[in-house]
Structure 1
Amino acid sequence: MKAVVYKGPFSVAVEEVPDPKIEHPNDVIVRITSSCICGSDLHMYEGRTAAEPGIVFGHENMGIVEEVGQAVTTIRKGDRVVMPFNVACGFCKNCVAGFTGFCLTVNPEPGFAGGAYGYVAMGPYTGGQAEYLRVPYADFNCLKLPEGTEFEDDFILLADIFPTGYHGAELADVRPGESVAVFGAGPVGLMAAYSCLLRGASKVFVVDRIKERLDKARE
């Protein structure tokens, strides 16, 4: 399959890489229909991490399930799914407590908890800026979506940007009637601002120096 492969600082290439395969009965293989470029990808791209050449980027992914492991019970071939960027098992004590970003079972790197697709030190999970993606613990890591092709650009936000922004509003304990300021109008900042409105904020002020971002916030 074709995939976006990191070659070194400021260098990526679309190359042929091996197709993913079912490695565990809890896996599924997803044919990717959308994959976002995250600001975190730029950390690797710009050489600001310990990423080694050969990593396939892409931790914000959605698509259609093409192959299903024998132990998967809730996901079927043909399902349209989006995958949260965190790879998690769903059954360790951290996952059960809701801290799936610190899953204790998915990352063999010494001293690290939590996994992610296509990211340095976050486990052996190839990214989804590719034609296909292996999703482990699919019953836990696949969010089933309505059938069809509508709202593709909206549903892909569920992989990272929207829940990350909402999490910020939740941590800030935004309540109905409050006034809120969000500093930074990048994708996550915009989703944080929108999440504050969803939580009932009466006024949301978005602060940034880039005109295009502020124009988007006004929309």
Structure 2
Amino acid sequence: KITTTNICGSDLHMYEGRTSFESGRTLGHENLGLVVEVGSAVRKVQVGEYVVLPFNIACGFCKQCEQGLTNYCLTMQPEPALAGAAYGFADMGPYQGGQAELLRVPYGDFNALRLGEDAAERQTDYVMLADIFPTGYHATEMAHVKPGDQTIVFGAGPVGLMATYSALLRGADRVWTADHQPDRLRKAEELGAIPINTAEQNPAEVVKEAT
């Protein structure tokens, strides 16, 4: 039973007709909900638990999944030329999305992240684990952000804000966030970043002068 779901920027691309997303399918790949029924093969997830669902649908046992590359799962994608599957997403399998009352979760023990006792009260925090927070965090992993680093994030949209937050979590000494939208820069500053308004300042010059 879906209790919280985010609207992703990619949902808007599909809604506006800029992809091959089929008419009649349900959008929504950032989902959190309450388990109301489990299949006969499910051993860990229990009815009554809150779970958050990672963006990718994966089997957990194919070659790609065993290497941690669940976004390239070979089992869940019915098209032989493609790999990877997701809820309610163009070209990523026939699966319905979670912007609905109920959602079927394949391989529930692998695809449902069980949450703690505070899940009901912190749904708006935990639902970020479905897609947007991991996206920003992965950016800081790819950039090898480590304690003591001086880091700049370009863009203070949802992904940029999560990258900003992730850089701080990973111990960056200072994090600048550059954007031209004042409201987004205020959010970045609330997270602990140093804002740079690109309409008024050159980010490269600001960082060079500070470091």
Q: Give me the TM-score of the superposition, normalised by structure 1.
A: 0.84
Quick check: 1:55–1:119 contact (8 Å CA) kept in 2?
no
**Which stretch of the first structure deviates more once superposed, 209-218 or 144-153?**
144-153
Structure 2 gaps of 5+ residues are 191-211
> CA separation in 2, counterparts of 1:111 and 1:42?
26
Equivalent residue in structure 1 for 2:15, among 45, 48, 53: 45
Structure 1 gaps of 5+ residues are 1-30
Counterpart for residue 78 of structure 2: 108
Counterpart for residue 83 of structure 1: 53
1:134-175 CA distance string (max 9 Å, x none): 000110100000135211110000001111111110011001
> CA separation in 1, counterparts of 2:154 and 2:82?
30
> CA separation in 2, counterparts of 1:132 and 1:52?
20
User: Number of residue pairs matched?
Assistant: 189
Counterpart for residue 144 of structure 1: 114
Percent identity between the two aligned chains:
61
Identify the structure with bigger relative contact order (alpha carbons < 8 Å, sequence gap 6+).
1
Q: Which runs of 4+ in 1 moved over 4 A?
A: none
Question: Which protein has the larger Cα radius of gyration, Structure 1 or Structure 2?
Answer: 2
Q: Give me the TM-score of the superposition, normalised by structure 2.
A: 0.87
Counterpart for residue 193 of structure 1: 164
Residue 117 (structure 1) aligned with residue 87 (structure 2): yes
Counterpart for residue 18 of structure 1: none
What SS does structure 1 have at the residue aligned with 2:61?
Answer: coil
Higher relative helix content: 2
Counterpart for residue 173 of structure 1: 144
> CA separation in 1, counterparts of 2:25 and 2:80?
19
